[in-house]
Chain A
């Protein structure tokens, strides 16, 4: 009888610990912003479009006159608000993305492009949840780099 009471007591304590822990974990997960970045090289030297970019390229072609698009790297960052995420780029450049807040269904990002240690470009944007934007311009190997950034809140 005593062991049964002891087991029941342990079960209640374990359930309480799990119950208390779950909301905390959920809250922690809710503060994570998932940011997906595709680093693309666009050029007029080739006519090849990377198969992984077939969904993106049609909308880029409405603005750019490049004929070739190559996916250089792809990275998914899970970042807390105010936590910077870094992506190393060709030619000693670095892309730094920091989700700073969310408001009205949009995620606010501070985005920096560093050339070595110097910030050569920085912007603040309000990106729609689960939508994407592109930053482009840095020259690289007979073309330019494009950063296709998608942000999602859980």
Chain B
């Protein structure tokens, strides 16, 4: 992995890629990436991992290929990343980090795939978004049949 320049942490760059920052912070990092190649490379690498994972997770019924994920990680490792120094991301810990990342992705992907398969105890409907002007919205699931109920009060 490329290391960020120091102005922003890896966590912040990762959150930027995920869009999980305030609008102001997103804009600041976006401007920073225009001029900082190290952070830009890191953001590209995070995007590559996300893209690979999304591609695999978007195929219901097909198992995640850990080898492919591992290959992606290795390819990223081989990209020129400027000077590398010590710390957790040093060469010594990289195989460990890669293995841990693959394991985490496989676990997360496995959970996502399991959720997509037809299990008798999964809810009849998964609510992915709700948008309403009413403030009182509740989601229930009946205990036996796992029937999903969305309830809103329009008063």
Contacts and interface: CB of A to CB of B under 8 A. Distances in A.
B150 interface: yes
A120 interface: yes
A34 to B, nearest CB: 16
A105 B143 contact: no
B133 interface: yes
B132 A126 contact: no
Nearest to A129: B118
Contacts, number: 96
Contacts of B75: none
Interface residues on B, range: 20 to 34
Interface in A76-117: 103-106, 108
- Is the interface on chain A under 10, 10 to 19, 20 to 34, or 35 or more residues? 20 to 34
Nearest to B141: A63
B34 interface: no
Interface of B: 58, 60-61, 113, 116-118, 122, 124-134, 140, 142-145, 147-155
Contacts of A121: 130-132, 134, 152, 154
Contact of B149 (A63, A120, A139): A63
Contact of B142 (A63, A104, A105, A124): A63
A144 B115 CA distance: 32
A125 B128 CA distance: 6
Interface of A: 59-60, 62-63, 103-106, 108, 120-129, 131-139
B124 A136 contact: no
Contact of A133 (B118, B125, B144): B125
Given A63-B142, A120-B154, A133-B149, A127 B125 contact: yes
B151 A131 contact: no
A122 B132 contact: yes
Given A105-B60, A134-B150, 9 more contacts: A59-B142, A106-B126, A108-B128, A120-B132, A120-B154, A121-B131, A125-B150, A132-B147, A136-B152
Given A103-B60, A122-B131, A123-B131, A133 B116 contact: no
B98 to A, nearest CB: 29
By CB atoms of chain B within 10 A, which of A108, A123, A132 has the most? Answer: A123
Contact of B129 (A63, A124, A139): A124
